[in-house]
Amino acid sequence: MGPGRAEKAGSKTAAGPFSLTDDNGSQPSFSQLLKDLKAGKVRELELMPRQRVATVYFQNGRSVDVPVFSDNQLLLNTAQDAGVPLTVRDEVRDDAVAGLVSNLLVAALLLTGMALLIRRSAQVANRHLGFGRSQPRLQAEGGVTVRFDDVAGIAEAKEELQEVVTFLKTPERFTSVGAKIPKGVLLIGPPGTGKTLLARAIAGEAGVPFFSMAASEFVEMFVGVGASRVRDLFRQAKAKAPCIIFIDEIDAVGRQRGAGIGGGNDEREQTLNQLLTEMDGFEENSGVILLAATNRPDVLDSALMRPGRFDRRITVDLPDRRGREQILGVHARTRPLAEDVSLSDWAIRTPGFSGADLANLLNEAAILTARRHLAQVDNLAIGDALERITMGLTAAPLQDSAKKRLIAYHEIGHALLTCLVPHADALDKVTLLPRAGGVGGFARMMPNEDILDSGLISRAYLQARLVVALGGRAAEMVIFGPSEVTQGATGDLQTVSRICREMVTRYGFSDLGPMALENEDGEVFLGRDWFRAQPHYSTRTGNRIDTQVRELASQSLDRAVAILGPRRELMDDLVDRLIVEETIDGDSFRQSVEAWESNHPDLAVAGQPLAAVLPGARLAVPMGEI
């Protein structure tokens, strides 16, 4: 091999994977390797026949790979003559070791995957097998931080439940005289009145473990699961006695048995049967007190309500004015109120609000305050929050048009009658600011607090509500004529129809006599909805009922028109003012009406004949004649 060919081979090797050079700096070739062997520069050789590569270890410690032939006797003889040790690597064994390692890695991956699958399958199986286990939310002893001081507006209910707290703290006080604490206490009341909060306060005052579950959590699609969960719940409670179990919305499982179609062997009834057994069965549940809450006590099974199960029923009703003020005070602890905010005034303006409604009121007011970048919650924020809750979100203001003036007359009709009709609710405000949902404006009244507290509604009060409710339609008739009235009174007419029918069929406020001809529609069971009983009065009596309802509504409209007709000038002035100001509060509105009435002392409030007011209309009939 000449120098030219050796140079060419060296350049080809430089472009390949063997880039090491010998001690002279030149790229080694096969011929150079032979020269180095003869020159004694090579310390050791390692031959890899299958790869046709020889690893050369020089005396200076460097090494290089040189391509060779697989069967090269010349290389072997030269190395032997130079006394250079030559080792042949067993590549078959190396390949076997590499294959074994790779197989072991694959096997390990497969075993790991199988282990994960088996573990997940076991978890799924445990969940299926654990269907019958109860998973209540447990508050450990001392874990409930709610106290009676955090519950306001329901003083009577707190006094009734104080005995439960006393028994849990000092049971020997009752057992020494042979007294037994009630096994079950049922809290009854409308939604949002604080039944759940009251149950937590009992656990917090007594300092005992508190188990809480919703009744719907007992029922599953598999038959027998609910009963198993009831057993498991009481088993856990007995282990931590004395303790409290609270079941919310118990009517989900406690409804009357046998009310559906297809028999009583369903999951809900089995759950109820197990609950009845656990509350008063053969086994004593000492120290376990069951609290339950519902707003539908009329649908509960009679066996659940008997003594020995739910011995005590406590009504948690809507708070009165003093209660609302106390509730507002509780929720105002964490909110900075302006100095001019009077919780007593807002308690007066929120009749019929529950504790949850009042909490939402202050929360919405705080949100509006933060949105306006203010530091304190003021009366404006609370007022806007009240309107947002009761009437909905504000919409774009109406433009000064015929529609705006028509809505103004409609609302002024309502507002004016609140000032002129005896026994009517007081006006809070009248506004033309529209609300989402198509409400162009509204006149808001404050219901009579005495009536709400007593629960007794007089005939005169209902008659006044009818007249005020029809004030919008009456104003349209007086101003625009009977042929130009609009559908704006649709909601008012629905209210009027309901009140009139209740007056005739339930309260005996008609010439049909003191008879209750209809009851509230409280049946909610499947079978009773399909096979609803026919009215127990005759067709002739039903026709008379319809006649009485129609007469009540017509006479209320006649009275509203008779009052508003002579006050056309006052209505025009109030409408002009409302269009300009868009909102008039109740006190200012009443002052304007009183000033106008004082200048017209000869104008009668009621009894004005319609013939003098509205051409072609019927004469008004005094409300007392029906």
CATH number at 364 reads 1.10.8.60
> 610: exposed, middle or buried (C-beta count within 10 Å: 0-12, 13-18, 19+)?
buried
Residues 567 and 591 placed together within one structural domain of the fold: yes
Last residue of a domain, one of 371, 391, 411: 391
> How far are the Cα atoms of 13, 21, 54, 65, 487 from residue 27, in angstroms, in the given order?
7, 5, 14, 10, 104
Residue whose entry in the numeric block shows the structure tokens 């009456």: 474
pLDDT, average across residues 248-260: 77
Three-state DSSP class for residue 6 = helix
Instruction: Read off the pTM.
Output: 0.64
Q: Taking the CB of residue 488, how many other CB atoms lie within 10 A of it?
A: 19
Residues 347 and 410 placed together within one structural domain of the fold: no
pLDDT higher than 50, residue 187? yes
Q: What Rg do the C-alpha atoms of the chain give, in angstroms? A: 45
Residues 379 and 421 placed together within one structural domain of the fold: no
Alpha-carbon gap, residue 330 to 516, rounded angstroms: 42
Q: What is the pLDDT of residue 4?
A: 40
- CB burial string 584-606: b at 16+ within 10 A, e below: bebeebbebbeebeeeeeeeeee
pLDDT, average across residues 314-321: 84
> How far are the Cα atoms of 174, 189, 234, 285 from residue 164, in angstroms, in the given order?
11, 19, 19, 15
Return all residues near 66 (Cβ < 8 A) that are at least 6 apart. Answer: 18, 28, 29, 30, 33, 53, 54, 55, 56
Alpha-carbon gap, residue 181 to 189, rounded angstroms: 22
Q: Is the dihedral of CA 536, 538, 539, 540 positive or negative?
A: negative
Q: Which uninterrupted H or E stretch holds 312? A: strand 310-315
Strand (E) positions, 340-498? 426-431, 442-446
Alpha-carbon gap, residue 137 to 402, rounded angstroms: 60
**In contact, 309 and 280? CB cutoff 8 Å:** yes
Is 91 a catalytic site residue?
no
Domain range enclosing 160: 137-315
Domain of residue 287, CATH code: 3.40.50.300
> Which tens digits make up the pLDDT trace of 464-500?
999 999 999 999 999 988 888 888 888 899 999 999 9
Residues 548 and 566 placed together within one structural domain of the fold: yes
From the candidates 267, 278, 387, 411, which is the catalytic residue? Answer: 411
Give the helix ranges, DSSP H, for 170-320. 172-175, 195-206, 225-239, 251-254, 267-279, 302-305
Residues 387 and 433 placed together within one structural domain of the fold: no
Work out the pLDDT band at 134, boundaries 50, 70, 90: low
Work out the pLDDT band at 259, boundaries 50, 70, 90: low
Domain of residue 19, CATH code: 3.30.720.210
Return all residues near 252 (Cβ < 8 A) that are at least 6 apart. Answer: 214, 215, 216, 218, 219, 268
pLDDT higher than 50, residue 111? yes
Pairing outcome for strands 583-585 and 426-431: antiparallel
More confident residue, 89 or 243: 243
Residues 232 and 142 placed together within one structural domain of the fold: yes
Residues 307 and 331 placed together within one structural domain of the fold: no
- What is the DSSP secondary structure assignment for residue 621, as one 8-state letter? -
Tell me how many domains the chain contains: 4
Question: The tokens of 375 are what?
Answer: 């530091």
Question: The tokens of 340 are what?
Answer: 């001019």
Look at residue 501 and tell me if it is in a domain. yes
